[in-house]
Amino acid sequence: MIRSIVHFTFLFLVMLIFSFIGCSGEYYGKLKRTNLITGKDLRQNWNDYTVYYQPYYALLYKINNDGKIVLSSRWVGVTSEDMVKNSTAFYLEEVSEILGQNDELYGYLVYPSRDSAYVKLIDANTIEVIYSRRIVRDR
């Protein structure tokens, strides 16, 4: 009985140590809500950015610099304003800054507050934006 408790405790400690080691390699950037720029400002100057959107849900405005943003295949590159004009995401006003290492600004994410998103640092010049839509079902 005591021997099995010792084995269980040892196994638990080994798993705990490995979980800390596994998590230590992940670094995250930040999404920070801002009032310094609005959705309207971004819409009016969309040509100053590389723009992506998830139809009806979110818009991402990437600053044109050396930084790279990795996105899932659900994101579509915007080549004209007409592509997103009928999307509800085009009219959202809540803007979050996409910040990487040392709070370097990569761009802006416009999405509903009910959804979730986070930034993962890949390397010094690359981040990944992970966006997840919260599905609201009527009862």
- The answer to the question of residue 6 being in a domain is no
For residue 54, the enclosing domain spans: 27-132
Residue 124 has pLDDT above 60, yes or no: yes
Residue 1 has pLDDT above 50, yes or no: yes
- The answer to the question of residue 76 being in a domain is yes
- The pairing of strands 30-34 and 95-99 is antiparallel
In angstroms, what is the C-alpha Rg of the chain? 20
- The answer to the question of residue 5 being in a domain is no
Amino acid (one-letter) located at 20? F
Task: Give per-residue pLDDT as tens, 76-93.
Answer: 998 888 887 777 777 788
User: pLDDT averaged over the chain?
Assistant: 83
Instruction: Give the Cα separation of 2 and 53 in Å (integer).
Output: 58
For 36, the token pair is 């310094």
- The answer to the question of residue 21 being in a domain is no
> Of 14 and 66, which is predicted with more confidence?
66
- The answer to the question of residue 22 being in a domain is no
Amino acid (one-letter) located at 50? T
What's the pLDDT score for residue 121?
93
Q: What is the dihedral of CA 68, 72, 76, 78, to 10 degrees?
A: -20
What's the pLDDT score for residue 17?
65
User: How many domains does the chain contain in total?
Assistant: 1
- The answer to the question of residue 56 being in a domain is yes
Residue 20 has pLDDT above 80, yes or no: no
Residue 74 contacts residue 54 (beta carbons within 8 Å): yes
- The answer to the question of residue 80 being in a domain is yes
pLDDT, mean of residues 12-40: 72
Residue 24 has pLDDT above 50, yes or no: no
**Alpha helix locations (H) across 28-114?**
39-44
Task: Give per-residue pLDDT as tens, 32-76.
Answer: 999 999 888 998 898 899 999 887 789 999 999 888 999 999 999
**In which order are the strands placed within the sheet that holds 105-110?**
30-34, 95-99, 105-110, 58-63, 49-54, 76-77
**Alpha helix locations (H) across 1-138?**
2-24, 39-44
For 38, the token pair is 């609005």
Instruction: Give the Cα separation of 95 and 52 in Å (integer).
Output: 14
